[in-house]
């Protein structure tokens, strides 16, 4: 009988610890149920960008990538982002895909435009974009530029 009580208490402690880990993970994951303003951004390529990835302004996370798909007519990658509803973007906002490092993942950077421009409404498209840079392609070009075609 004494073993049953000890086993029950240990099980309860394990459940409490597991619950506290889950609470900590969700409270620090920047997951919000209230959502934000959604915008559409089109790129020529989005290598390394994934759903749930960060959207940053001045290095601060202000939102996340909620969807991405291929526009079958223009063959552009269409990315839907959700950002903090308190952030106001103008029509001249610039969006680009940047790498976290040489081997790191990619994230989307927004450079808010001029305050005097027209303000983007939810669901509008950010038209000033720069797609992902192919680092391996650049490295290949750089390494291959010193070679000569002597035959």
Angle at 119 between CA 56 and CA 51, to 5 degrees: 35
Write out the residue range of the structural domain in which residue 113 sits.
37-141
For 6-18, the pLDDT digits (tens) are: 889 899 999 999 9
Angle at 106 between CA 131 and CA 40, to 5 degrees: 50
Residues 16 and 65 in one domain: no
CA distance 61 to 66: 14
Residue 65 maps to a domain: yes
Residues 94 and 128 in one domain: yes
For 33-56, the pLDDT digits (tens) are: 456 889 999 998 888 888 888 899
Residue 151 maps to a domain: no
Burial of 96 (0-12, 13-18, 19+ CB in 10 A): middle
Residues 69 and 122 in one domain: yes
Residue 149 maps to a domain: no
Return the SS3 of 94. Answer: strand
> Count of CB atoms within 10 A of residue 126's CB?
22
Residues 64 and 12 in one domain: no
Residues 6 and 44 in one domain: no
Percent of the chain with pLDDT strictly greater than 70: 80
Residue 82 maps to a domain: yes
pTM above 0.75, yes or no: no
pLDDT beyond 80 at 138: no
Residue 15 maps to a domain: yes
Averaged confidence pLDDT in the chain: 82
Residues 126 and 96 in one domain: yes
Q: Is 5 left (phi over 0), alpha (psi -120 to 50) or beta?
A: alpha
Residues 67 and 112 in one domain: yes
Residue 147 maps to a domain: no
Tally the domains of the chain: 2
């Amino acid at each position: 009988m004494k073993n049953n009580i000890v086993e029950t208490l240990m099980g309860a402690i394990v459940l409490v610890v597991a619950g506290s880990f889950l609470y900590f993970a969700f409270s620090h994951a920047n997951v919000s149920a209230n959502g934000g303003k959604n915008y559409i951004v089109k790129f020529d390529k989005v290598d390394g960008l994934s759903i749930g990835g960060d959207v940053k302004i001045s290095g601060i996370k202000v939102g996340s990538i909620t969807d991405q798909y291929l526009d079958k007519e223009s063959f552009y990658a269409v990315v839907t982002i959700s950002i903090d509803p308190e952030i106001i973007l103008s029509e001249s906002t610039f969006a680009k895909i940047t790498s976290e490092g040489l081997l790191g993942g990619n994230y989307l950077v927004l450079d808010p435009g001029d305050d005097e421009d027209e303000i983007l409404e939810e669901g509008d498209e950010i038209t000033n974009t720069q797609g992902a840079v192919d680092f391996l392609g650049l490295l290949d070009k750089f390494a291959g530029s010193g070679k000569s075609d002597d035959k």
